[in-house]
Chains A and B, each alone.
Chain A
């Protein structure tokens, strides 16, 4: 009986995974796009896009530094667009 329940639970998890995983990928991508856009706003000056709040968003940059490398790679820039942040 216990064995049967265990097998059922495994089957349930497997089925769940089967149906859910495509959505998970899509949501993960949507979220990454959202985060990338946010990065663009905070680092827009580096890309030559004027940011009216540059002085205030500057204080966000330290918090985003770790994500910076992956972000600029995803934006199609192989090397850091910024002389100052030479992360690669």
Chain B
């Protein structure tokens, strides 16, 4: 039913916390790998659980799980540390050694500024997105709960706009600079140009050029990530939910927001549906409760492909069960 999910280069699995995103993402990744597609499974949730699910260490580097499945847990802390170290090293080359300690202090503050983690995460996500279609046939993202993810997906637009603004200023400054040179600026004393034209600031291969290159590079990354994300032939967004009030409400909101951002929502996995043969008065009562939610989901999302996954008697903790779950989601065969 959701077979087309596995034809996209990028698949994002999202939803409320605790509905089974990680399990769904991992199950789909195993099916993709089983079909001989080189697949990378990526967790962007700061509270990673891929390693726990597969019962083996994964971490910040791509780790092989099967012959064609790799996994990666993005560590924004580490990403931010590496970024700040690079900036520190560049600063040290430019200032007097007596300022080293002060610069370190300053940058360590930036380390804990709001938004730093998000920005670091986005940077890595953008890089990983670029691997799809090249190093991997498919990259599957096990995303953080909806709010974080929506914010993350809207960031490339905001950031690209910000970089555009900065580049606009650089461009105007460069135009004025060349007008100035045509008027013989910099050759004549007393024009208060000492600051502008000294220190080889505006020459070829100069500071200006480096500034522009950095800004352009950033901009390219964001624009590219956004293009990939919004291309329905490249990306798919799968929402996971449970048949309960809070999960349904959050899914409605998430679907609205994603649609507003033109992110292609491709399907719905209704997870942990009580199977009809589960017996007992208690489960009967629960089943009566979930019935209206199942109906509501079918009504509201009638135009989206949906698949119901039953609540299983056992916890999933082996690859074979996961794989079977995955086949069930894409519509190959039932779980039980």
Taking Cβ atoms with an 8 Å cutoff, the residues of A that contact B are 16-17, 20-21, 23-25, 27-32, 34-35, 37-38, 41-42, 45, 52-67, 70, 82-86
Contact = CB atoms under 8 A, between A and B. Distances in A.
Given A59-B83, A61-B87, A86-B102, A41 B185 contact: no
Interface residues of B, number: 54
A84 B106 contact: yes
Contacts of B106: 82-85
Tell me the dominant secondary structure on chain B's binding face. helix
A60 B211 contact: yes
Contacts of A62: 87, 90-91, 93-94
Given A32-B195, A61-B91, A63-B90, 6 more contacts: A23-B183, A25-B192, A32-B196, A38-B166, A54-B116, A55-B110
B110 A54 contact: yes
A30 B177 CA distance: 10
B166 A41 contact: yes
A53 B162 contact: yes
B283 interface: no
B335 interface: no
Interface in B226-274: none
B241 to A, nearest CB: 31
Contacts of B169: 34-35, 37-38, 41
Contacts of B119: 53-56
Contacts of B214: 59-60, 63
Tell me the dominant secondary structure on chain A's binding face. helix
A29 B180 CA distance: 10
Contacts of A42: 166
B319 interface: no
B252 to A, nearest CB: 28
Nearest to A37: B169
A46 to B, nearest CB: 9
B115 A54 contact: yes
B153 interface: no
Residue in B94, B109, B183, B184 whose Cβ sees the most chain A Cβ within 10 Å: B183
Interface in B140-173: 158-159, 162-163, 165-166, 169-170, 172-173
B329 interface: no
Contacts of A65: 91, 94-95
B227 to A, nearest CB: 19
B212 to A, nearest CB: 10
A2 to B, nearest CB: 24
A61 B109 CA distance: 15
A83 B103 CA distance: 9
B191 interface: yes
Shortest 8 CB-CB distances between A and B: which pairs? Answer: A84-B106, A55-B119, A31-B176, A62-B90, A34-B173, A38-B169, A53-B162, A62-B91
Given A34-B176, A35-B196, A38-B173, A58 B191 contact: no
B183 A84 contact: no
